[in-house]
Amino acid sequence: METINFILNGKEVTITVDDSEILLHTLRERLNIKSVKEGCSIGECGTCTVLIDDEPHYSCLTLSSKVNGRDIKTVEYLGKSGKLHPLQEAFIKSGAVQCGYCTPGMLLSAYSLLLKNRKPDWEEIKEAISGNLCRCTGYHQIVEAIKDAADIIDTPTHEQQKKSPISMEKRKKEEVFTILTSTKEARVYAGGTDILVNKRKGEKFRPFIDITNIQEFSGISEFNGTIHIGATSTHSQLTENIIIRGKALSLSLACKMIGAPQIRNMGTIGGNIVNASPAADTIPPLLIHDAICILESKKGVRREPLATFIIAPYKTSIREDEILTGVDIKGLEGYREGYRRVTKRATWAIARMSVAWAIQEDNGLFKDVKLAIGSCTPMPFRPKEAETFLRDKTKGDETIRAAVNMMIQEIRRISGKRPSFIYKVPVLEGLLNAILRG
């Protein structure tokens, strides 16, 4: 039990919540905000969307305790003044509402977009609502409505409430290490986008320790060519960050493709690494940047390369008393860098396979080739043999074919025969070919 304080649609709320209580439940069942819907409870529909500090989040994957001190908006906020918000008016006029079940969440995603981007184009709008499913409308009239609303909102950027009026003490990291050492079953909780899905799927609940409000675990900085990424950096932050975009482009691109906007606002790089899914999108880019994991506990700090940190699918060498505080990566300059993944749906889908690359070429020669492949082996991996082979080789069909073959052989060696290879091997051949060719 914990008493929390937050701003809900402009009003301060104080409420005592259970340790495992989900924000969706608190809003619907205890604060009677029924516009927030439950369509799946695993981050796959968007009907539970709320704005936390003006960014869309899935309330079904947010523990209530996490919103302590923050600003929450639901669709009720939009019509609060007794007058319809231009978005609401445009939704009515464009026929953007059919059954209406997705509508509150859609409006919130749209509202958040317009705070950041006053004149979004068609694609930017589609992107912004891509974490909100609608089964009725085919989205067309929704996008139209948002565009129309953007055209008539003429006031300068909406006053943004990034800082909520409730001031909050930042937590000290020492505090967390103490809890971790003393409470054996306690579990680190960052974005919650893996942990709360697992809980829904039947994993037993253990007390969560939220680490997202600890200063030392956040932030992105660069020193002497090494980029330090705090573990609680979200995928949205990594997508936008200037340093990452400049010197680790593949990571920025990968983060941009993860899940949906809401997932990117919630999910952290630390969570992605520690969860250690074979399909984790940040891992291949991190591997080509020779990421070093920084792990800290009461006993001290230890550094371990990401390549050895992950020991099996969903398994790392992290100890129960440790926290991943961040990763250090090497910035790359003068490389052609990218990330590609294959999915069944345009977005909001787990990667069937993925490749991150950073390639340095000079005058028709491969100077340095770094590749990392996801979802083809138990853990994403770097085909070191082929990378070495390519060093200083002339860029040509022959070389590329030989290198691709080496990589496929290496994958077969690691993974053995797998039914999925009927699909994956030819696709990977095609992708690697295209990537090396550039």
Partner 1 sequence: MPAVKEIDRIDALEKVLGATLYAGDMYIEGMLYGVIVRSTRPHATISKINIKEAQYLEGVVKILSCNDIPGKKEFGIIKKDQSLLAEKKVRYVGEPVLVVVAETERLARKAAELIQIEYDDIISIHDPFTSEKAPVLIHGSGNLLSHRTVLKGDVQKGFRQSDVIVEHTYRTTWLDHAFLETEAGIGYMDNTGKLVILTSTQNVHYKRKEISRILGLPEENIRVIQATTGGGFGGKLDMTVECYVALAVYHTKKPVMIRFTREESFLSDTKRHPLYIEYKTGARRDGKIQAVEVNIIGDTGPYISYGETVCLRAAIHATGPYEVPNVHVDSRMFYTNNPISGAMRGFGVPQIAFAHESQMDEIAYALKLDPLHVRMINGLKKGSRTATSQILEASAGYIETLKRLEPYWQGRKKLKGRGFGLGSMFYGIGNTGITNPSYAHLSIAENGKIALHTGVCEIGQGSDTVLLQILCESLGVDDKNVELIRGDTDTSKDAGSTSASRQTYISGMAIYNASIKMREFLDKEEYYKGRGLKDIFLTYKEKGVPVFEGFFDPPTTALDPETSEGKPYATYAFATHMTEVEVDEITGYTKVLKVYAAHDVGKAINVRNIKGQVYGGIAMGIGFALMEEFRPGETHSLDAYYIPTSMDMPDVEVFIIEDEEPTGPFGAKGVGEPALIPQAASIVNAIKDAVDVRPFELPCHIERLKGLIESKTSK
Ligand X SMILES: Cc1cc2nc3c(=O)[nH]c(=O)nc-3n(C[C@H](O)[C@H](O)[C@H](O)COP(=O)(O)OP(=O)(O)OC[C@H]3O[C@@H](n4cnc5c(N)ncnc54)[C@H](O)[C@@H]3O)c2cc1C
Footprint of partner 1 on this chain (CB under 8 A)? 28, 34-35, 37-42, 44-45, 47, 74-76, 79, 84, 88, 91-95, 97-104, 107, 126-127, 129-130, 132-143, 197, 260, 342-350, 352, 422-423, 426-427, 430-431, 434
201, 206, 211, 212 alpha-carbon torsion, rounded to 10°: 40
Residue nearer to ligand X on the CB measure, 231 or 435: 231
Q: Quick check: 100 binds ligand FES (CB under 6 A)?
A: yes
CA angle centred on 15, ends 14 and 19, rounded to 5°: 135
Fill in the per-residue mask, 42 to 81: x = in contact with ligand FES (CB under 6 A), - = not in contact.
-xxxxxx---------x-x---------------------
In the bound complex, what is the minimum distance in angstroms from residue 181's beta carbon to ligand FES? 34
User: Which one of 99, 168, 301, 311 is in contact with ligand FES (CB under 6 A)?
Assistant: 99
Helix (H) or strand (E) holding 259: none
Q: Quick check: 187 binds ligand X (CB under 6 A)?
A: yes
Q: Quick check: 400 binds ligand X (CB under 6 A)?
A: no
In the bound complex, what is the minimum distance in angstroms from residue 211's beta carbon to ligand X? 6
Residue nearer to partner 1 on the CB measure, 134 or 329: 134
- Binding region for ligand X (CB under 6 A) out of 67-75, 151-159, 181-189, 414-422: 181-189
- Binding region for ligand X (CB under 6 A) out of 6-14, 140-148, 199-207, 256-264: 256-264
Burial class (CB in 10 A: 0-12, 13-18, 19+), 312: exposed
Can you tell me the distance from the alpha carbon of 229 to that of 219, in angstroms, rounded to the nearest whole number? 6
Can you tell me the distance from the alpha carbon of 385 to that of 407, in angstroms, rounded to the nearest whole number? 8
DSSP 422: H
Q: Quick check: 193 binds ligand X (CB under 6 A)?
A: yes
Give one DSSP letter per residue of 211-230, joined into a string.
-TT-GGG--EEEETTEEEEE
Binding residues for ligand FES, how many (CB under 6 A)? 22
Q: Which of residues 132-171 bind ligand FES (CB under 6 A)?
A: 134-137
Give one DSSP letter per residue of 138-152, joined into a string.
TTHHHHHHHHHHHHH
Q: Quick check: 172 binds ligand FES (CB under 6 A)?
A: no
Nearest residue to 150 (alpha-carbon basis) of 186, 176, 125: 125
Contact 305, 273 (CB under 8 A): no
In the bound complex, what is the minimum distance in angstroms from residue 272's beta carbon to ligand X? 3
Helix axes 86-94, 140-152, angle to 10 degrees: 140
Q: Parallel, antiparallel, or unpaired: how do β-strands 353-362 and 336-342 relate?
A: antiparallel
Fill in the per-residue mask, 27 to 46: x = in contact with ligand X (CB under 6 A), - = not in contact.
----------------xx--
DSSP 26: I
Nearest residue to 347 (alpha-carbon basis) of 100, 51, 44: 44
Residue 334 binding target from ligand FES, ligand X, partner 1, none, CB below 5 to 8 Å by type: none
Residue 60 binding target from ligand FES, partner 1, ligand X, none, CB below 5 to 8 Å by type: ligand FES
**Residue of minimal Cβ distance to ligand X:** 271
Can you tell me the distance from the alpha carbon of 334 to that of 362, in angstroms, rounded to the nearest whole number? 10
Residue nearer to ligand FES on the CB measure, 111 or 217: 111
Nearest residue to 134 (alpha-carbon basis) of 97, 91, 87, 93: 97
Q: Residue numbers of the site for ligand FES (CB under 6 A)?
A: 38-41, 43-48, 58, 60, 97-102, 134-137
Residues binding ligand X (CB under 6 A):
43-44, 187-195, 197, 211, 231, 258-259, 263, 266-268, 270-272, 274-275, 280-281, 318, 323-324, 350
